[in-house]
Amino acid sequence: MSTNCPIRKIANTVRAKRERRKDARPGELLAAALDLFLEKGYAATRVEEVAQRAGVSKGTLFLYFSSKAELFKAVVRENISGRFTEWGEELNTFEGSSEELLNYCMNSWWERVGATRASGLPKLMMSEAGNFPELVQFFQQEVVQPGNDLVKRILQRGVERGEFRAIDPDYSVFSVIAPLMFLNLWKHGRGSCGDARLELDPSRYIASQLHILLHGLSSNTGADSTDKKIKQ
């Protein structure tokens, strides 16, 4: 049969579409799983629902993910923990001051995680932690600990360069992470964890928290100097 045969062309087109569809399936399953985990919680989400929302069979889902737990882990890696290699490389090559790096870190977290659907994953883990210790341990190892280590490196960089005063890095990490977690809870709690009369603007909130934080870290504690740098 000629390669120019219309029937063969149609068959090749269908085959190509199937291959593209097959390649897209893992991503579609992860997107569907993320939505359902956040809507219903981990315990209440069934793999059949995930498959149905992704437009595939339950059997197809199990070709890619052996269990609901493995599906959840893949969701976390796709949306959060898989980014730590990239973030670490950015830290290694950053040429600005440690104040600028900290500013970049906090705003990048909001842009890449906080402002996305993935920001609901920490709240989900807190709400279901008591029932799924294995997943808590996984989240600790792949999200919490690497995140703490990354922030600690930024703080230690500032101390070593004489830009931050001497601090306890193990505990000072929480001074950076706590404001971001509050912003995360505010977003998903519809203001229930704060004054609901306040329309919280993420960029203004981060700038304000960073301003307060830097006054406690900077070796040059001049308010005018720090304020000017933050507003740039």
Residues 197 and 100 in one domain: yes
Per the structure, the complete domain to which residue 59 belongs is given by 6-71
Instruction: Please check whether residue 105 lies inside any domain of the structure.
Output: yes
pLDDT score of 153 more than 60: yes
What are the DSSP E strand ranges found in the chain? Answer: none
Could you tell me if 83 and 61 are in contact, meaning their C-beta atoms sit under 8 angstroms apart? no
The share of the chain scoring above pLDDT 70, in percent, equals 79
Q: pTM for the whole thing?
A: 0.79
Residues 116 and 223 in one domain: yes
What integer pLDDT is reported at residue 231 of this predicted model?
A: 44
Residues 159 and 93 in one domain: yes
Residues 89 and 44 in one domain: no
Instruction: Please check whether residue 1 lies inside any domain of the structure.
Output: no
Q: Where does residue 162 fall: left (phi above 0), alpha (psi -120 to 50 degrees), or beta otherwise? A: left
Instruction: Please check whether residue 93 lies inside any domain of the structure.
Output: yes
Q: Select from 48, 71, 94 the last residue of a domain.
A: 71
Read off the pLDDT of each residue in 150-172 and give the average, rounded to a whole number.
Answer: 94
- CATH number, domain of 177, equals 1.10.357
Read off the pLDDT of each residue in 59-84 and give the average, rounded to a whole number.
Answer: 95
What integer pLDDT is reported at residue 129 of this predicted model?
A: 84
Instruction: Please check whether residue 111 lies inside any domain of the structure.
Output: yes
Q: How confident is the model at residue 23 (pLDDT cuts 50, 70, 90)?
A: low
What integer pLDDT is reported at residue 186 of this predicted model?
A: 86
Consecutive H or E run containing 84? helix 84-93
Could you tell me if 188 and 122 are in contact, meaning their C-beta atoms sit under 8 angstroms apart? no
Residues 112 and 184 in one domain: yes
The share of the chain scoring above pLDDT 90, in percent, equals 67
